[in-house]
């Protein structure tokens, strides 16, 4: 058992507290630059810092966020006036987390499939991040649906790495977010997504068990069971909610501390509606809190409005707060599409 077991349980519970969820703001520089480039924002360290300052200084964000996941560069950065981001977050009641994986790389011998790297020196890196104030971590594995894929080789390699990472996190005092993402890319049906997600989750939990990971001291971050984005027949909100909960019920141990979904390329309205429908329809029977750990589905409207201009910061912050509020409501099954209209008067004022 980890020397940190009691602390890990408390942190994991806090991460999925009622009405709250997690903001993923841990884009690597490469991903951040791709998103900046689309909007003509200069791809510099100072712009990355300014954007993350915009996020962490958004007033009252802690009402709806339990935690935020940072990138290595960001956890070391500060506001223009010198206040470290970590301090701003902690003062706002937002637990700092850290991305620990080193990205998904081509898996040798398996064309079209990826394996996530980053296990080298992980014990030492975890100790450093704990010292800096991080209390949870994330590792994302990527599973692609296509012709003849995913293979067992890919699913097992990723599940094993996730389990090794999670065990090291618990040893070092960080709650592991275990993220096996089944990509939305492709024209597959929701039924195919169900099959792949179920096999992936079973394999991941088998490996977590084999590596002696404590389920009540971890958070699962799955993708939803959803139609591929190019599928000719897209599943409805209720179908996604039903299939996702059925898949989790069939593959996730009841003792897992919480489930926090990624948004994975859904629109921000869909991401809120899907999470809400799951909590409305199944909140009374599922054994885990179901919440969000979104990046794009929280950040995108704010990033679009900011465009890299100081003058746009207040508008961008209102948009960010609003998406956090919508998803906080969805965490409790209290979101409605009507909430989307609240933002217009706020932007005009």
Provide the binding-site residues for ligand 13P, judged by CB under 6 A. 24, 140, 179, 262-264, 294-297
Whether 341 is catalytic is no
Q: Are 142 and 107 in contact (CB under 8 A)?
A: no
Minimum distance, C-beta of residue 19 to ligand 13P, in the bound complex (Å): 19
- Among residues 27, 179, 181, 198, the one annotated as catalytic is 179
Q: Which is nearer to ligand 13P, 2 or 324 (CB)?
A: 324
What is the spatial distance between Cα 337 and Cα 55, in angstroms, rounded to a whole number?
24
Closest C-alpha among 102, 97, 185, 88 to residue 133: 97
Pairing of strands 136-143, 114-116: unpaired
Joined together, the tokens standing for residue 222 give: 């799955």
CB of 136 to ligand 13P, least distance (A): 13
Q: At what angle do helices 237-251 and 190-210 cross, to 10 degrees?
A: 30
Query: Can you give the C-alpha Rg of the chain in angstroms?
Result: 19
- In the bound state with ligand 13P, the residue whose beta carbon lies nearer, of 2 and 291, is 291
Shortest reach from residue 319's CB to ligand 13P, in Å: 16
Nearer to ligand 13P, 2 or 222 (CB): 222
Catalytic residue among 20, 99, 221, 318: 221
Nearer to ligand 13P (CB atom), residue 67 or residue 289: 67
| Residue 221 annotated as catalytic | yes
Q: DSSP secondary-structure letter at 99?
A: E
Which pair of structure tokens corresponds to residue 242?
A: 């039903």
Q: What is the closest distance, in whole angstroms, from the C-beta atom of residue 292 to ligand 13P in the complex? A: 8
Contact predicate 280/237, CB 8 Å = no
Tokens of 63: 């009402």
The catalytic site residues sit at 179, 221
């Amino acid at each position: 058992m980890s020397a940190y077991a009691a602390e890990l349980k408390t942190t994991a519970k806090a991460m999925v507290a009622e009405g709250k969820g997690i903001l993923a703001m841990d884009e690597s520089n490469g991903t951040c630059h791709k998103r900046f480039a689309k909007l003509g924002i200069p791809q510099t360290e100072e712009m990355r810092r300014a954007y993350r300052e915009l996020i962490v200084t958004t007033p009252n964000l802690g009402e709806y966020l339990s935690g935020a996941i940072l990138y290595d560069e960001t956890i070391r950065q500060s506001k223009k006036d010198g206040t470290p981001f970590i301090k701003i977050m902690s003062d706002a009641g937002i637990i700092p987390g850290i991305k620990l994986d080193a990205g998904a790389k081509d898996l040798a011998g398996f064309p079209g499939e990826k394996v996530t790297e980053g296990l080298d020196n992980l014990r030492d890196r975890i100790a450093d991040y704990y010292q800096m104030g991080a209390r949870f971590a994330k590792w994302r594995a990527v599973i692609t649906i296509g012709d003849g894929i995913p293979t067992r080789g890919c699913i097992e390699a990723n599940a094993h790495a996730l389990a090794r990472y999670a065990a090291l996190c618990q040893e070092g005092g960080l709650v592991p977010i275990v993220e096996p993402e089944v990509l939305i890319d492709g024209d597959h049906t929701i039924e195919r997504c169900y099959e792949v997600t179920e096999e992936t989750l079973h394999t991941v939990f088998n490996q977590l068990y084999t590596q002696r990971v404590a389920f009540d001291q971890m958070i699962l971050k799955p993708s939803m069971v959803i139609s591929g984005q190019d599928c000719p027949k897209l599943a409805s909100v209720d179908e996604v909610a039903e299939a996702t909960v059925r898949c989790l019920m069939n593959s996730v141990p009841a003792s897992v501390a919480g489930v926090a979904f990624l948004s994975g390329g859904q629109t921000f309205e869909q991401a809120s509606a899907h999470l809400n429908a799951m909590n409305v329809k199944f909140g009374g029977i599922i054994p885990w809190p179901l919440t969000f750990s979104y990046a794009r589905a929280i950040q995108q409207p704010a990033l679009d409005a900011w465009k890299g201009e100081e003058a746009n910061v207040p508008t961008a912050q209102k948009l960010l707060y609003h998406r956090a509020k919508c998803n906080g409501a969805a965490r409790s099954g209290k979101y409605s599409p009507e909430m989307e209209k609240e933002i217009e008067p706020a932007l005009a004022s």
